[in-house]
Amino acid sequence: MKSYHVGILLFDYVDALDFAGPYEVFNVTTYEDGDVKKLFRNTLEEKPFLVHTVSHDGKQVTVHNGLKVTPDFSFSNSPLFDVVIIPGGPLKAMEGVSQNQEIIEWVAGYKDKLVASVCTGAFFVAQAGLLNGKKATTNRVALRLLEKQYPAITVVQDARFVDEGTVVTSAGISAGIDMALHLVKRLLDEETANRTAYTMELTEADA
């Protein structure tokens, strides 16, 4: 069965739910209904998504509000991912990443894969040149800034996510969960996405 290798970018001051939301969505996705119990018993051997975190140097990062996280990989030793998730963060995170050319070039290197951003992660994807001529969204408080800094992008308001094929952007923080569920539906099917949402208790069982 088809599986996808997902890489989630980490950096100092990243917003926790920006990366943890999609991380959870992909990790609780299963091929079949019967796999859900195996998932929670840690006996599930095959999953649709293999999820890892990565940073530019592989060293521990300090998440916004203080959580410490050690990435699985650095850019130099990470595998080639099928899907890359680019989270965002507050102004301090945006400034740090935008000034780190190694990160921007790494994102740009995935132009032929599937790149998805959460919140202000859209700014890093834009800086990498992947949003030129495309529609995109971001955190509601940063919509005007995205439009001002990147006039080649058509900024979309009042959208949880915007799918432009090889690039998907989502609104702020919790919208990354909706975006990740959309990717599950797109890459697998609607039934699997619905099962994932139910497993996470985002939806109720059908009557």
**What's the fold here for domain 4-199?**
Rossmann fold (3.40.50)
pLDDT score of 2 more than 90: no
Compute how many other C-beta atoms are within 10 angstroms of the C-beta atom of residue 56: 20
Measured in degrees and rounded to the nearest 5, phi and psi for residue 154 equal -90, 105
**E-state strands within the chain:** 4-9, 49-55, 61-62, 68-69, 73-74, 83-86, 114-117, 135-136, 154-155, 161-163, 167-170
User: Dihedral of the CA atoms 19, 25, 30, 34 (nearest 10)?
Assistant: 130
Per-residue pLDDT reduced to its tens digit, 80-126: 999 999 999 999 999 999 999 999 999 999 999 999 999 999 999 99
Question: Could you give the CA distance from residue 102 to residue 41 in angstroms, rounded to a whole number?
Answer: 39
Q: Is the pTM of this model over 0.75?
A: yes
Q: Taken in order 131, 134, 136, 141, is the CA torsion positive or negative? A: positive
Domain range list for the chain = 4-199
Q: What is the mean pLDDT of residues 136-141?
A: 97
